[in-house]
Each structure stands twice: as C-alpha cells, then as structure tokens.
Structure 1
Amino acid sequence: MAAPLSADRLLAALRAEGVKVVEHDGWRTHNRNGHGAWGPVHGVMIHHTVSTGTTSSVRICNDGYSGLPGPLCHGVIAKDGTVHLLSAGRANHAGGGDPSVLQAVISETYGARPPVPREHQGSAGAVDGNARFYGFECINLGNGSDPWPAEQLDAIARVSAALCRAYGWGAKSVIGHSEWSDWKSDPAGPGMPGMPAVRERVQKRLGQDPAKPKPLAPKPAPPAYEPFPGAAFFKAHPNSPLVTAMGRRLVAEGCSRYRSGPGPRWTAADRQSYAAWQRKLGYSGTDADGWPGPASWRALRVPKTTR
C-alpha cells in the first residue's frame, strides 16, 4: 500500500530532484481529505490549466470555482518551470476514470500507452482518481497555439521523477489526464511531445542522480553539494569539516539540538539534530535514528567542503 507522503517529505523529494518550488500559504493543510479517500496513491497525473498567467492560474487552482472547490491540484507548473505547491492531500484534479488504466499504472506492464479509457466522472464503472494520483496542472491554454517551453517540460519530468523515486515507481506510473478519462484531452498543444515522450524523459531522469541534469560539456562541473559519504563514515565518529557543514545545514533547517557549535567532531548532538531532520522529512521509528542515509542526506544539500 503506497501511503501519501507527508508535506515535508513531498517538499524534500521535489527539492532533491532540483525542482524550483514556491510554497503557498496553507498548502500543507489545504486539501479535500474530508470529502473522500486520499490514498493509497499509485501515480502522477499531468494536466493543463486552460488559462494564462501564473498569478491567476495559481489562484484558480488554489481556490477552485463554483461546483468544484479547490485545491484543483497538488502543484501548478509555470512556464518558467517553477512549481507552486498548493496541497499535500486530496485534490480535485482527476475525477473518475477507467479502472483498467489504474491497474495498468499499478502493474506498469503496458506498452507505449495505457489502455484506451472508456470511463469518466459519473459513469458506472469509474474509479476515484483523486484518491489515487498526485496531480500537477501546467499553465497552458491547450488550444493549439500556446507553446510549452523547455523549462516547463523539464519541470514536468523532474516533478514526476521526484515522486517516482520516492515510491520506487517507474515512469509508467506517470499519465496524462486524457489517458485516465475518455472525455479529457490534456495535456496538449504545440511543443507538448505527448505522454510517451514525457515518460521517456522521466525514465532518463530516474537513471541519473537527482537534482543534477545530464552534463552537456565533456567535463562535468563539480557537484554543488557533498555526496553521501556512507553510513560507516558517521559511525566511525569522524572529525571532519563535513560534519561542521552538515551541522550548519541542520541549524538552518531548524533542527538544531546543539548547545554549542556545531563543530567537526561527530557527537551525540549531531545525531540528535539529524534525527530531528529525519522526523521533519516524515520518517519515524528506526528510520529516524539520527544516522544519515542517502535520501535524507540528499534532501539536506550539504555544501561542498575542503577535506
């Protein structure tokens, strides 16, 4: 059963994938959870807004309209690739759809496209997509004349890959609204390569380190952040500038349990502070024991140090 991510874990997953995120007021608790199930989740659904302008599009998706209250998605993907987060719970974005498509997404056994949908909101055999999918609205009129910039397409791939990576899904867990419901056409328009091509982009990202685009130059630039040094590094109680850099990031994230410092020697205060960071990401129990792991370390983004 794929439980929904906490708001902190959703945010961390997006940032770890290099997504530029804007957190809108109240997004962590703005949802439709009292009006139907939220989870188990099985995939990501991509839409277009049929609107223009970032401010107005975000407002519509946040507030909804007569007959369809907001939020209308989990995030709005702007033309410049910025993702505006509006919800971490159930959102009115997918409506009813075809159960055969849901099963194909869960199994990830279909070819280039899932089965042709034959159900929609209100039809007898439809299933509730709002409970099963994360939804992202992309600002586009969908009228055949509104282009899809490269930055927006890159953000679609990054957002989708972030959630797939968090759950261990493949790219076939990402579908368009038109692949879910037989009366929808989104996403569409000039420059939108189609969902099979979108899934190819997502799969390529899943083969790369998150937050690092594929280098264009023959010699890649040094990474901006420290790679995970391995759990054994910390359990050996190191004395290293890396520990200081990590501690400073924990302080910046509001997870400090230090009485002084932080300093280069790994101490119980470092472990307690890191455990607070793990809990902030939504981990609990033995997953929040204070020993760094690759996913939480990646989300922390410790700057490069001289060692």
Structure 2
Amino acid sequence: MATPLSADRLVSALKAEGVTVVEHAGWRSHNRNAVGAWGPVNGVLIHHTAGTSSAALVYGGRADLPGPLAHTHLAKSGVATMMSAGRANHAGKAARNAFDAVVAEAATHPKPSASTGTVDGNVHFYGIEIENLGNGRDPYPAVQYEAAVRWAAAICRAHGWGANSVVGHKETSIEGKVDPSFDMAVFRRDVAARLAGPASAKPPKTTTPSKEKPVAAKKPQTYKDVWDTDAATAPSTSTTAKTNPTWAPISFLREIYDGIVRLRADVAALRADLNKKG
C-alpha cells in the first residue's frame, strides 16, 4: 500500500516514462474525494471505454455516475489526457480475492468471487480508460498500446511496484465487466519488460493486441455508442448539473421517463383525493 501520487508527481512520472501528457482544465481538483477516501493505493486498473470520442464522458460522467470516470483517458493517438488526481468513479466493487492478489503482487490473478467479500476499488486503484469499442474487432494502434504500457509502468515505478500490481477491470469486478478486451497476462509481461530498464529506455518489444483494420460495428454496438457514450450538456434544471455537466443521451431519456412516472403518480393521487371528496 502507498500514499497516492500528487498531481505533479503523477505527471512527472508519466512524462519521465515517455507518455505524451495533456492536462484537462481543472483536472487537479476534479475528484470524488468528498464522498469517499482516496488511498492508500495498491494497484493500477485497466479499462476500455466501449465507445468513441469518450474523453468528455470520462471527465464529466453520467447522470447516474458522476465523473471523473478515470484518472487518465488514452486516445487512439497515444495521447494521455489527465482527468483526475484523486478518487475517481472507475473501479466499483472489487472482489476481495482479486484485491488480495494485487496487494500480494501474486503471479496468478484468480477469477473474482463475490463470495470472498468486496473492497471499494475506487479507494485503492489508479484507473485508465483506453479509447476502444471493446468488441474484439476495433484495434489498439501500436502507439496507443505502447502508451498504455508506459502509463502503467510509470505508476508502478513511482511506487516501487511490480507488473503484478496491474490488473484489468475484468479481473477484479464482481459485476461481470469485460474490459479491457486484450490479454492482461501479455500486458503485464510488457509492463514488466519496461520496468526491467530505466524509465527513459526505448520501448521494448511489445505484443499489440490487434493489427486489424477497424470494421463497422454491429447494430447493438452502434446503439450503445450513440446512446450510452456520446456526452451532451446536462439540462440546467438538473440538480447535478454543476457537479456533472455532461450526460449521455440515454440519461436524458431516463430523466424524462422518471418525470413521467412521477407525474402519473401525482395524477393518480389527485384523482383518488377527488373521489374521496366527491
């Protein structure tokens, strides 16, 4: 376990490892620290966005899940945009057996089991959202994959951790998460190869998950990209507009639906009251 890196130390570690860093406006104070602890930290958690053009969503979150949704967003170009230096809504509940394996830096990461108990992963994990549809066909360009390896290695190096402190969300989640869509054992091997040399070393040979050309997503994926991922400005009437300024379109539909349900309940109550008086 370790004390979380400050914003300055985090950026310095990433740049020293050769990561191209962009700082989102306000990211240094953008966090969920007011609702829960941030740290001690024990590891690094890898995600894919399951969408496109997701940076705004990662920063702002959704109506049902306020941002930030990760500490860093990683574009296809390999550019890492800093989203938070504190607690972020990315890890959710981690299975105790999976968490214990990270703490022990075990070479084997067990299948997460809810029966072993759970841990608030948002307290203990740094998180990165890698831009990718996660459908097994959308490739991770070599420059993006290499940047992800460097990002994870930089944090491990700063804390003195080994590559087994790096896990995928699918390796900790009790909710059936499937991200990232590449082999985490291979990813850890690539992180270990970087950690074996200095931060300034030229990239060792890594195994990119896919060299295929992007193909059109199937209708279910297209639907998810449009409704669940694309962010829009939250309505001014929202009680969370200040803390959660961007919504996914599907959140607007949920808001409308919830309003209709409340309106129906009010109408039903009014009718019942009138019938009593009548």
Q: Indicate yes or no: 2:101 matched with 1:129.
A: no
Match of 1:185 among 174, 178, 190: 178
Aligned residue for 2:249?
none
Return the letter of the residue paired with 2:168: G
3-state DSSP of counterpart to 1:146: coil
Distance 1:155 1:173 in 2: 17
Aligned residue for 1:204?
193
How far apart are 1:101 and its partner, in Å? 1.0
Return the letter of the residue paired with 1:40: P
- Call closer, same or farther: CA 1:168–1:68 in 2, change over 3 Å: same
- The number of residue pairs the alignment matches comes to 204
Deviations 1:2-37 (A, max 9, x none): 011110000000000000000010111000001111
Name segments (4+ residues, structure 1) moved above 2 Å: none
Q: Indicate yes or no: 2:113 matched with 1:118.
A: yes
**1:19/1:211 contact within 8 Å kept:** no
Deviations 1:211-241 (A, max 9, x none): 321479xxxxxxxxxxxxxxxxxxxxxxxxx
Distance 1:65 1:47 in 2: 17
Percent identity over the alignment is 54
How far apart are 1:107 and its partner, in Å? 0.8
Return the letter of the residue paired with 1:43: G
3-state DSSP of counterpart to 2:27: coil
Return the letter of the residue paired with 1:181: S
Distance 1:209 1:116 in 2: 32
Distance 1:103 1:124 in 2: 10
TM-score (norm 1): 0.64
3-state DSSP of counterpart to 2:47: strand
**2:193/2:204 contact within 8 Å kept:** no
3-state DSSP of counterpart to 1:28: helix
Q: Indicate yes or no: 2:72 matched with 1:79.
A: no
How far apart are 1:152 and its partner, in Å? 1.1
Match of 1:65 among 47, 62, 82: 62
Match of 1:106 among 103, 107, 111: 103
Instruction: With a CA cutoff of 8 Å and minimum separation of 6, indicate the structure with the bigger relative contact order.
Output: 2
Distance 1:154 1:138 in 2: 11
3-state DSSP of counterpart to 1:166: helix
Return the letter of the residue paired with 1:63: G
**2:96/2:116 contact within 8 Å kept:** no
Return the letter of the residue paired with 1:165: R
Deviations 1:143-166 (A, max 9, x none): 122111111110111000000000
**1:254-265 superposed matches below 5 A:** none
Q: Indicate yes or no: 2:8 matched with 1:8.
A: yes
Aligned residue for 1:26?
26
Distance 2:152 2:136 in 1: 24
- Report the structure, 1 or 2, having the larger helix content: 2
Return the letter of the residue paired with 2:45: M
Aligned residue for 1:166?
158
Return the letter of the residue paired with 1:133: F
Distance 1:33 1:101 in 2: 24
Deviations 1:267-289 (A, max 9, x none): xxxxxxxxxxxxxxxxxxxxxxx
Aligned residue for 1:233?
none
Aligned residue for 2:36?
36
Q: Indicate yes or no: 2:132 matched with 1:143.
A: no
**1:15/1:211 contact within 8 Å kept:** no
TM-score (norm 2): 0.71
How far apart are 1:110 and its partner, in Å? 3.0
- Call closer, same or farther: CA 1:117–1:21 in 2, change over 3 Å: same
- Call closer, same or farther: CA 1:5–1:147 in 2, change over 3 Å: same
Any stretches of 5+ residues in structure 1 without a counterpart? 217-307
Deviations 1:98-148 (A, max 9, x none): 11111111111233xx111022xxx89221000000000000111122111
Aligned residue for 2:218?
none
Deviations 1:49-89 (A, max 9, x none): 01113xxx110000000110000000001111110100000
**2:70/2:90 contact within 8 Å kept:** yes
Match of 1:176 among 168, 180, 184: 168
Distance 1:207 1:143 in 2: 32
How far apart are 1:97 and its partner, in Å? 1.2
**1:48/1:138 contact within 8 Å kept:** yes
Task: Provide the alpha-carbon RMSD of the alignment.
Answer: 1.5
- Call closer, same or farther: CA 1:166–1:215 in 2, change over 3 Å: closer
Any stretches of 5+ residues in structure 2 without a counterpart? 206-278
**2:95/2:116 contact within 8 Å kept:** no
3-state DSSP of counterpart to 1:47: strand
